[in-house]
Each structure stands twice: as structure tokens, then as C-alpha cells.
Structure 1
């Protein structure tokens, strides 16, 4: 790992955040249809996020279709940095879920709230076009609206229908995760994939969303023009960036751009080739950045075996009858933590 730095101060340390930021109580608000995913996917995802230290709001109650959104839910949505929307087959059957969706997208437009959809056993196209089970649900809402004898209530329901349909179309166009197919979506691997994607999104957007959306026109079709705009912002604002698993000089140069970074910015670069840093364009400027190299060694034999056993047997020592094979697997991974976790997962799945 190589750390490049110019000053000790970190971005985001000033007290000039907005009033909306000060009122944020949660990292993530989870919107989901309880009957579909509460005791499976959403429950696993919620616990995984909590274990990762992400303060997540999940409502324990199930509201009947037709009831208004509770004030505490509105407050939770408005006081969250991000929302995860688990779009399942019966999500649109709940007017409560649809009201949550509308409010979440309003927060995205007004306050740049991060919104991450997860398409759980549904296709983004079905959400966008409101077809299949989602289409059936919307048709039933329309039928109830047309059966309403009170003209004012029918008009109000009609306006809501328009908001719901627009929100479903919009959320389907956002970048998210697809969790489809059998019960594999409930596996630890799938949950971990979703968590990793969420973490990546939170880390990236929390550092860059405010700067880019306020200072850039995001509706740019030309890649070179978009890249140039990003470079302009990075040269004017102190930032903290992580470049993970850099494999080539061209890749590193492309990521940090040609215009240089604002003084005081910090970069963490992880790479197998530490020579990349001093050969990159950052070191060809008149003022060389201060930098520190940190070499990461693998785990020793004891720690490797301990990590393997934690993942395989939920203990610090091998299960009876598995000591020899555990030692061999630990040696094979040569102290690489991720290799130990992946290999244990593959080995257990074959048992």
C-alpha cells in the first residue's frame, strides 16, 4: 500500500455542512415489502450492514395497504444519508412502499440523497414498464381508484397514481444490484456482494456527490468532456481519494488526471507494484507530493489457521477430524486473508 499526501488536514473537516446534513440520524433507510423479504433477504442485509458499522433504519411494523405513511417513517427517510429500495414482486402492491419510494426520490432530487435499488427476483425492465407482478399491482390500484365514489378522493388517488408510476420508472433507471434466481439471493456471498456495492457507492458518493452535482453539469454525453470537468473540480477542491488495486501506469495516470490535485489532497493507492507511484505523472510536477510506502505482509501460520477456522467452524481451532486439511488449506493460501475466506467458502459448498 502506498500513501501519497501533501498536508495533514482531511477534506470534510470544516463546519460548513448544510442544515440537512446536521439532521442526518441514519446512514441508510431500508424500503422493502415485508411479506416478500423481511424474514430472508432484507433481514440478512440489515444485519450485515449493522455488522459493518452502517447505521441502518428498518421498520418492524407492517402497515396495511391504503394506510398513510407514518410520520416517523417520513422523518427517518428525510434524516438518512442514503436509501436502499428492495424492489420485490409485491413491492408495488403496498401503497405504503410506493409512498416511501416517492419521498425517497424527492430527497434524492432536493438533497442529493444516495439511492440504491436492489431488484430482488424482478427485472429492472418490469419495474420501469410496470409489467408482470408490478403491472398487476398497479392495475389493482387503478381499479380501486375508479371504484371510489368520492370525487375528491378519486382525484387525489389519481394524482398519487401518477407519482407512483413516475417513481417506478425513475428508480429502474438508477444504478443498483440485481438479486435474482432460486434462493441464491439469500446466500452470504450474494449479501456480501450487495454490501460491498453499497459500501463502494457510499464511499464514492459521500466524497464526490456534493462537489460534482453542484459544480458540474452531469448531463454530459462526451466522455472526454466529462473527464475534463471532473479534473477541473479536483484541481480546485481538496479531496481524499482511494485508488484500489492499481495494475498499470496508464490506469493510475488516467485516474488522477492531467491537471493535478488541489494542495492538501490525499491519495491512498493500493498496488502490487510500488514503483508505479514514482513513475506516475503526479511526480512529474514541479512540486513532488510527500509520500509514504507501507508494505503489507501476509498472516503468519497461526493467524492464517485461526482465520480459516473462524470462517469454517466458527471457532479459533479446527473441528475434530479436520485439523490436517485445515493446516494444508492455510499453507496453500500463504497468509492471504481474502484467499482464505474465498477458499473456505468454496470448500464448504462442496461438502
Structure 2
């Protein structure tokens, strides 16, 4: 592969780059919160990338440059002409700009006459005449070009909202009109979908959508990790979905299968296609049965993304007779054998190839320079060298290009020197150099996500990372911008190569010695740890990775030696020995069914923010007073052996104490009444509780006090029987 000759700038200057598919022009006061707002959401649901400007323009201010660029870089401008549209000089200026590009190839203007007569718009009568009379009083010099723009747009065929049909029906018609106009055009869902047009066209041919046959087709998208299988499937899905009565995109099936399971996938698929309540699908057999019966008469489009076992396909999209005539099932996978096992013939499989030389260059330039070409000759040479290492893999190019965005030539040269030290490294080595450009704290976030939080809810990960002092509001945003993570429906996702890279960093050059790793995420690795644990700073084990019945107990002594731990999340596990110590560096401790009767006496975690010991064996959390100034949440739900709450005098910032179901609890320590930030105290079903401090009833911070089920306490306080 050669990158020695680059296309000239003139060859790319004529190439049109669409940033948006639709630009919405509207009078905010008239339709922002009703018609236009609903139209915008409908376009988004259909996967149409839409620009909607919600910013109020101060009187007299000119249209912002980014608004002008959005108009020029949109394929379709939808102009919602309402009664007060012409009152706004800003709207009229915007319309003039739209008319300046109306005749450019590929550009479309679609007017929507919202309770106005097109002839009134075209000839400035009625409300439009009144508006122009006011403009005339202000002696505006723009009146002639405003009138010309209105006349031009009002003369186009458009949609009418006049009360003869429901607005929801009209919105559906507009969305259908837009999708039909876009169906032969390249989707601009992202700025870096380089080379996707030809791939989309080739795959759509396999779909054979124009066939008169009503056959059900299963098709495969095959390729190596990071080559763009999912991207291709999503673009095709958005381009063709209007052909089908029901659609569903099942994202990263292998990951969901290992986590929530196939039931959740059945729930999503049946809800999105035929509206079945997820509560009706409580186990795999029920989901499979409903799949095989409810979609038989429905022309359906389903994308089953990242499949890694034949069993997943069999239970999700088992047989052609499950689906109505004309249905299409698209499967993305790395494993050709899975497709063959499911009867997807070779001529129905599209194998995604690596980028061509020209495409690889264009993608790198878009990521690194936000343009289609290098800015000068020196950068041309540097991009040529850099592409030698990327091996035309889109993921590697995106990540490496993003890491060098806005960087000087010296930084590029330094990056190339790093690469030259390992000239034969595969993509993993290329990705690793991009991680080296992150700030140390962002590197920690990257590795934590790779080891612990990939596939988890973003808010959950943010909370824990924040407790660890990593400032995730900035860090996660940086990782996202650098293409190291993506967030889909509130969930963090990371490409498998990047996840493996993060875990490689955590192993720190000692792949066979877990005691020297910075993070531990598998039970077997923690079990192998005996001594020399000074490098371990975080352990997160997931319920699905722990089979207590088949695994030997862990050594509590090894955990006692981990003095740098900042994070522990444990499911229920067996431990042998005595827990003599816990790291004072802990910031978040969650341990289900904590097996010991109390925390170590030497445990003084001054930076601990949350302490979660649900269903624990705790009898007394700690003896005496402990200074824990950062501790905000204590959750001991279901700890049936707990007799008394500890002295909380040193936990001055405690906001929430959850003792629900602590059926052995007899007494709440008097110190709780002096907590000035406590907002929630849950004593629900503490049925042996005898008393609580009177000072609690005088607290000005306490917002929630749950006492249902505290039978003895209710009698002593003369509350009667609580519900």
C-alpha cells in the first residue's frame, strides 16, 4: 500500500460535504413548542440528522456564521411559514440565505404553510402585509430581497397545515417526503463516514428492496473489529427504514447477552416492532414464542448487531417464517461460521473491506484537520507516514487522527517517533500511542471504563469516577470526542480493541502477575493474588462473572494488604481468613453480603464518599467515633444482624442513611440527631427498633423519614399500627 501521492486540493474542492440532512427554519414564538418541536423529534426518530436553532437572537443582531454554514451544509431546508414568520427580520434574513443556495445541485427547499395562505405569503397579504408595513416604517433596505425570497419559496410545492387534517398526520407525511428525497443521497450522520457511499450502495443491492418477490431475506455484514460493520448497518438502517412497517436495531447483541440477557433483547425487539409491553416477556421461551407468531404479517427490518454465537440468532430471529413478506434481517458479526450456521448464503454476505488509500487519507484529514486535505506540504508528508501505521482500519485512523487534532508539526513528529520504535506493531500499538496523549486523569478514566464500566449506564459510571476524584464531566467528554468511547441511549460503549488496550495498560507489563496490576476485574485473577499487592488501586467484580458455588473462597489477608485501593465493588462472594485491614484510600466501597461482623478497627477512610453493604453480616459498623468527613451515603439495607447504628459524630456530611430491613436493629445512636445535612433516613421494616433520638423530629435538613413496619417503635410513640 502506498501513500506517496496525494490528491490535489482541486480534486476535493468540488466535492460537496453535507453536514446536516435537514435545516429547520421557523418562527420560534409560533411553533417552537408545538408543530416544529414535534416535527424535529419525528425527524430525529427516523434517524435524520437535523439542525434546529433554538437560540433567541437579540434585537438587531446579525445571523451567526454557524447558522449560515448550517444552511449551506444541509441537503434540505424545511421552512415553516407561520402567521408571524415575516414579523422577524431574522427569519427573513435566514430565508434570503436559503434562497441563495436553492439552485445548487442536490439542495432542496420544502415549505410548510402553517395556517397561512400561500398566496398571502407570495404576495405579502394579510399578516404578511401587516409585517411588511412595519418593516417599511423602519425604512429597511432589505425589503426587496425579503419579498423576493418569500415569493420564490411560496411558489414551491409544499405541505399545508390548515385544520383539514391532524398535525400528527401531516408531520408523518413531511417525514416520509423528506426520507424519499434523501433515499438516494449519502447520510451525513457523522463527519467521518468516509467511503460509506459505495459500501451502502453495494449492500443495498444485496437487500433487493425493489424485488416483486415477497421473500424474507437474512443478510450478513462481515469484517474484522473496527472496520465499520456497525456503522454500515446503522447507515443502511436509517436509509431504508421507511420501506418497512416495523423496525428495530439491536445494538451489540453479544454484550447485552452477557449482561441483561436475551430476555431484554426480546423485550426491546417486540416493543419497538409491534408494541408488546416488556412485562409480557419475562423469560426466553416466552420471547421466542412471541417472536415466532406476532411478526408473521408484518414487513419488518431488524439489525442484529455484533453477534458472537449461533444461539443468539436462533432465539432472536430464528426462521424466515417468523416474519412477514418482504422482511429483511441484517446481521453483523466477525464470525463467518455463525452466518453459515444460520443459513445465510455466501451471496447474501457483504464483507466490509479496509479503506482505500484515498479514503484513509480523507478520514485522517477530517479527524486531524477538520478538512479533506492536509493544510500544507509538511503535513502531507506527516500524514503519509502516519497512515503507514494505521493499516487502513477506520477505528485506528479515527482515534489517531482525533488525538492529533489541532496539534503542531512537532507533536506529529514526536508521535511518529514513538511509532517508529515499534514499526511492526499491529493496530493495538497504534491505539496505545493515542492513549499516551491523554492527560493522566483522562487515562485513568479510560482504563476504568475499559476494565469496569463499558456497557454500564453513563450516570452510574460518572458517579463513581467523580467519587474517585477524576472529574468525569470533562474526561468522558474528551474520551468521546477522541473516539475512544461512544454513548448510546445513556450507555457507555467501547470498541473491543480499545477495551483490550485499556486492560493491557492495567496489567502494566505483568500479564501473568495480577498482584502487580492496577485494576482487577475477574474473580480468578483476584483469587491468584497472595502478596505484593501495593499496585492494586481498584477491584470491580460483576455478579455474572462470579459463580460462588464453583469457586474457592478468596483470601481476606490479600485484600488487607492492598493499601492503595480507592474502589471496591463486590457481589456476594466467599472469603476465608480474617479481614485485618482495608485501604484508607477507599472512596467508594460496595460489598454485597459483606461476610464480616464489623469493619476493621484500623479502617479510617477519610475520602470515602459512599459505603454500601447490602445484606451484610455486620453487627456493629465500627466502635467509637470515626472521622469520615467526605462520607455522604451509608446503605446497610437487609443487614439483619445489625444491632445499633454507630457513632456518627465524625460523619458530619452524611446525607443518606438506609437501614431498611435491618430487622435486628434495636437502637439508633443519639449522634444522628446532630447531623445537619441528613436528608433521608430509611428505617422501613426495622421491626425490633425500640427508639430513635427525639432530636430527629427537630431536624431542619431531614426530608424523608421512613418508619413503616417499625411495629414496636410505633407502639412506643403511640403512632398506632403503621401501614
Relative to the length of structure 1, the TM-score reads: 0.53
What SS does the corresponding residue of 2:16 show, helix, strand or coil? helix
Gapped runs of 5+ residues in structure 1?
1-14, 146-156, 208-239, 241-263, 275-295, 300-304, 320-330, 339-351
Greater share of helix: 1
Aligned equivalent of 1:21, options 1, 7, 16: 16
Is 1:177 aligned to 2:159, yes or no? yes
**Residue number in structure 2 paired with 1:256:** none
The equivalent position to 1:61 in structure 2, one of 48, 51, 55, is 55
The 2-side partners of 1:118 and 1:314 are apart by: 35
Tell me the CA shift for residue 38 of structure 1: 0.6
1:74 aligns with 2:68: yes
SS at match of 2:83: coil
The change in CA–CA distance for 1:18 and 1:121 in structure 2 (over 3 A counts) is farther
Q: TM-score with structure 2 length normalisation?
A: 0.27
The 1:68–1:36 alpha-carbon spacing in structure 2 relative to 1, beyond 3 Å, is: same
The structure with the largest alpha-carbon Rg is 2
Q: What displacement does 1:182 show?
A: 7.8
State how far apart, in whole Å, the 2-side matches of 1:268 and 1:333 are: 19
- Equivalent position of 1:269 in the other structure: 210
Matched, 1:203 2:183: yes
Task: For 2:13 and 2:51, locate their aligned partners in 1 and report how far apart those are by CA, in whole Å.
Answer: 22
CA contact (8 A) 1:86 1:118 kept: yes
CA distance in 2, matches of 1:123, 1:270: 42
Partners of 1:309 and 1:317 within 8 A in 2: no
**Whole-angstrom distance in 1 between the partners of 2:59 and 2:273:** 42
Q: Deviations over 1:257-292 (max 9, x none)?
A: xxxxxxx9x985244799xxxxxxxxxxxxxxxxxx
Unaligned runs of 5+ in 2: 1-9, 187-200, 216-243, 248-266, 282-292, 301-723
The whole-number CA distance in structure 2 between the counterparts of 1:25 and 1:332 is 39
Match of 1:135 in 2: 129
Match of 1:315 in 2: 277
CA distance in 1, matches of 2:19, 2:295: 41
1:114 equivalent to 2:88? Answer: no
- Provide, for residues 35-77 of structure 1, a one-character-per-residue CA deviation record: whole Å limited to 9, x for no partner: 0111111111111212222111111212145432112211211
Alpha-carbon distance between aligned partners in 2 of 1:192 and 1:198, rounded to the nearest angstrom:
10
Larger relative contact order, structure 1 or 2 (CA cutoff 8 Å, min sep 6): 1
Which residue of 94, 97, 111 corresponds with 2:91? 97
Say if 2:24 and 2:77, in contact at 8 Å, map to a contact too: yes
* Match runs of 1:261-340 below 5 Å: 268-271=209-212, 315-316=277-278, 335-337=297-299
Distance 2:272 2:104 in 1: 45
Equivalenced residue count is: 223
How far apart are 1:112 and its partner, in Å? 4.4
Counterpart position of 2:42: 48
* Distance in 2 (alpha carbons) for counterparts of 1:61 and 1:174: 28
Cα distance change on mapping 1:332 and 1:309 into 2, 3 Å: closer
Kept in 1, the 8 Å contact 2:270–2:276? The answer is: no
Quote how far apart the aligned CAs of 1:334 are.
Answer: 6.3
